[in-house]
Chain A
Amino acid sequence: MIGTLDAKIPSGPLAEKWTNHKDHSRLISPNNRRKFEIIVVGSGLAGGSAAATLGELGYRVKCFCYQDSPRRAHSIAAQGGINAAKNYQNDGDSVYRLFHDTIKGGDFRSREANVYRLAEVSTNIIDQCVAQGVPFAREYSGLLANRSFGGAQVSRTFYARGQTGQQLLLGCYQALCRQIAAGTVQMFPQTEMLDLVIVAGHAKGIIARSLRSGKIEKYAADAVVLATGGYGNVFYLSTNARGCNVTATYRAFKKGALFANPCFTQIHPTCIPVSGEHQSKLTLMSESLRNDGRVWVPKRKEDCAKPPNEIPENERDYYLERKYPSYGNLAPRDISSRAAKEVCDEGRGIGPGGRGVYLDFADAIKRLGENTIRERYGNLFEVYEKITGEDAYRVPMRIYPAVHYTMGGLWVDYDLMSNVPGLFVIGEANFSDHGANRLGASALMQGLADGYFILPYTLPNYLAGQIGKRPPADSPEFQKAEGEVRARVKKLLDVDGKRSLDSIHRELGLLLWDKCGMARNAKGLGEALQRIPELREKFWREVQVPGDGEDFNQSLERAGRLADFLEFAELMCTDALARDESSGAHFREEHQTPDGEALRDDGNHAAVFAWEFQSDNGHIAPPKVHREPLHFETVHLTQRSYK
């Protein structure tokens, strides 16, 4: 069904591609827009901004989210900030530099054209958010403040306390509310997409279940936009919200959409370490802390059990500063995470289980005073104290890496449309902009860029040819898909085993963290690929899902999501095994430089691996890979160096 993957990158010089493309994109006249129904699944920064903007343009939008309100989407939890090439600090920033930092940060595994466009529209995002009333931090002059963030040598990050994601999401939620009130957007909260409906090869609707009533309904549309976030919860423990899941994108994958680079999962270096088996989620401590905190472990293993203040300065190993003198504690996420894992593997980790490193503010407090530190990070220190019971003004924080973001996602072309016509994928759910590693403060940027400024221009390229082609919601394709969803729900309820969802999910998570986490190798991945199907069988034999389907049933919701994770995990490990190189967050132990850095193989792997679902008699068969070669016309591929 799929020929060669064509990303449809516009021709012309890099800096002019987007403008040229917009100039030649198709348009839909205002009075025709209301004839189109658009489904947007997800109401985070990408989905919310897309739904609001499309509604504003006059399309009829149906927006779905599993949360009880669109304001609770997980974008809300982003702390640090949002990048934009405004160069307000006069420190040499530019669109090109933001582009270059992002593509280098992604270890040259993303598309030049997409990333350049992202950097280009970044400035519009800040204008838009300020106009919406987002209370960004300001200087006494009344002008916007910036801070620096990992992986960059300029200050280009805009922020609102440690709650930037919340404020940006509320801005876009409010824009969405305005459209809901205007009647252009119909909101379906607590409604979960369980399947994609394809009619004559085009995505024309979804099947969704109301989590409140249990009712399963068919929704037809002219195009479907997925903005359903990442799949980090496949690891069970992650910084994602409990409800984040892969179901929407995985269902689309099973209906023929390609899943690109699923092995690119970001492990964030600054999270609060795991404290015990009961743990249900991990909490991120914003990367911005690394601006003033110094990361260290004891030089000698024997010192690890000592209280940190009894370890003298010369017995401490500030390993990030030692290894990466020019970026120091601000080295990119993948590099910092791996460095932490390394020192812990050497037995120099601190805290319970030896899986932790110190993030020490003593120097910053001495230099700037406790009040300044309190002003900058007060709320983060409070969160830390609530969770650990420790006062980080007195004793250094303990941190350890945790799963945070997934760069992989559904494959999309330059128009953000997947290989399935009519299926658009935006935000974290697609794969397009972050390559093998995402830089801090760029997820918010991408979500809003896609929703406010890219999709509204590119969607008409598809819609223009689709006037009057929306099928009725009771056409056979919808009925078939609905039947499948109902059968699946029934199958889950009928297992009637003894094992709890959490215990199976935890087992899957541990397996993936071990074999497909911060470091991977062929042997481990092979083992994982063997054990995942076994675990999946166990799930379908032994899982216990109480209650029934026609009701509010949280166990059933989770069971459906876990069933998809159990299939998706295999895809992720397959991709990790196929990508026989190290790049960014994907660190294959077989491929490293003598000093332990990721060693890319640009000859064979400068490509997107996009996977096509295959089935064999109703069973999952090994997926088929399609490669989209990445062409770099502007940047030079270099070994990333943050030394």
Chain B
Amino acid sequence: MNFRLRVWRQPNAKAAGRLVDYEARDISPNTSFLEMLDIVNENLLARAEEPIAFDSDCREGICGTCSLTINGEAHGPDHPGAVCELYMRKFRDGETIIIEPFRVRSFPIIKDLVIDRSALDRIVQAGGFISARAGSAPEANSIPIPKHDADLSMEAAACIGCGACAAACPNASAMLFTAAKVSHLSLVPQGNPERVRRVLKMVHVMDAEGFGNCTNTYECEAVCPAEISASFIAKLNREYMRARLRASAGD
């Protein structure tokens, strides 16, 4: 298969970027999208041009490192799934493919298609944890957790932290990411003691990082590689209101 690629090239965070055209020739349909980029890079090297910088690591859809917007969709057209799980058989032979980085102010571009997502780490640092000192844990089966709650918690916890939700959101909002973590931890009884603090602090940092606001377009859940449901955003809203009420009631 052959493709015409239009790839965002930007030398660093400060410099202006632009789309540059490349050809990808004789690509097997069983090649993954990132492997196709590897091949393009090999050819660039052969012509002594600088390869396209893009991020990836596990290449099996779990580490959340890869982050491309392909033809205007975060992670490309094959939802749900990360770019590394996208195969060229999903494209038409001869198709023009536009490749851009995730565009969110809070994810500054480092180079070409590589972005800095440390804002997401800072949201978790604000309170996305259960304080359990090693050595102090009670016996694991001492608190039974209803299967339904545990399963729901797992669904939220499946988030891979790629940032596609914010990238796809018309408002560049990180609500789905934050909602997933808040929901994961508030659905298990162990998360209860810090429930109020957690949601208030995480939402505060999320806003301070400069993400946009949720206007319920649900674009986030449509591109989420981990299929996190936007209903967790409703849960986050619930948790937040509950926390505000309890905090103002002096609890």
Contact = CB atoms under 8 A, between A and B. Distances in A.
Query: Do A and B touch (CB < 8 Å)?
Result: yes
Interface of A: 49, 52-53, 56, 67-72, 74, 76-77, 86, 88, 124, 126-144, 160-161, 163, 166-167, 170, 173-175, 177-178, 180-181, 187, 189, 212, 239, 241-243, 275-276, 278-281, 283-284, 383, 386-389, 452-453, 456, 498, 500, 502-503, 544, 546-547, 551-552, 554-555
A56 B30 contact: no
Contact of A69 (B110, B117, B158): B117
B161 interface: yes
Given A69-B120, A552-B114, A77 B134 contact: no
Nearest to A68: B117
Instruction: Pick the most buried of B39, B129, B133: most chain A CB atoms within 10 A of its CB.
Output: B129
Contact of B35 (A76, A243, A279, A555): A279
25 contacts: A71-B64, A71-B124, A72-B57, A72-B64, A128-B137, A133-B184, A133-B185, A133-B188, A133-B191, A135-B151, A138-B144, A138-B146, A160-B154, A160-B157, A163-B62, A174-B129, A181-B127, A276-B30, A278-B27, A281-B60, A453-B134, A500-B45, A546-B49, A546-B51, A551-B111
B128 A135 contact: no
B63 interface: yes
Interface in B98-154: 110-111, 114, 116-118, 120-121, 124-141, 143-147, 150-151, 153-154
B85 interface: yes
Nearest to B126: A181
B231 interface: no
B146 to A, nearest CB: 5
Contact of A212 (B34, B110, B130): B110
Interface string B212-232: 000000000000000000000
A452 B133 CA distance: 10
A124 B137 contact: yes
Contacts of A554: 51, 53
A60 B78 CA distance: 45
A56 B48 contact: no
Given A189-B118, A243-B57, A278-B35, A177 B128 contact: yes
B62 A144 contact: no
B211 to A, nearest CB: 17
Instruction: Pick the most buried of B56, B124, B127, B134: most chain A CB atoms within 10 A of its CB.
Output: B134
B132 A128 contact: yes
B201 to A, nearest CB: 9
Contact of B161 (A69, A142, A175, A278): A69
A242 B56 contact: yes
B134 A128 contact: yes
Nearest to A141: B144
Nearest to B124: A177
B61 A383 contact: yes
A500 B46 contact: yes
Which 9 A/B pairs are nearest by Cβ-Cβ distance? A142-B144, A174-B129, A131-B137, A131-B132, A135-B154, A127-B137, A135-B153, A130-B140, A241-B57
Contact of B130 (A126, A132, A167): A132
Contacts of A131: 130, 132, 136-138, 190
Contact of A76 (B63, B116, B131, B137): B63
A456 B61 CA distance: 33
Given A56-B134, A242-B56, A161 B154 contact: yes
B28 interface: yes
Interface string B22-46: 0000011011101110110010011
B65 interface: yes
A386 B187 CA distance: 31
B145 A142 contact: yes
B63 A72 contact: yes
A139 B50 CA distance: 54
A144 B141 contact: yes
Instruction: Pick the most buried of A74, A133, A141, A555: most chain B CB atoms within 10 A of its CB.
Output: A133
A387 B81 CA distance: 11
B42 A500 contact: yes
Nearest to B139: A127
Contacts of A56: 133-134
A388 B28 CA distance: 12
A180 B158 contact: no
A140 B147 contact: yes
A389 to B, nearest CB: 6
Contacts of B242: none
A146 B190 CA distance: 21
B221 to A, nearest CB: 17
A264 B134 CA distance: 32
A77 B85 CA distance: 14
Contacts of B191: 133
Contacts of A160: 154, 157
Given A128-B134, A388-B30, 4 more contacts: A68-B65, A72-B63, A74-B63, A177-B124
Contact of B34 (A175, A181, A241, A280): A280
Contact of A77 (B56, B58, B184): B58
B86 to A, nearest CB: 8
Given A69-B118, A131-B138, A74 B58 contact: yes
Contacts of B207: none
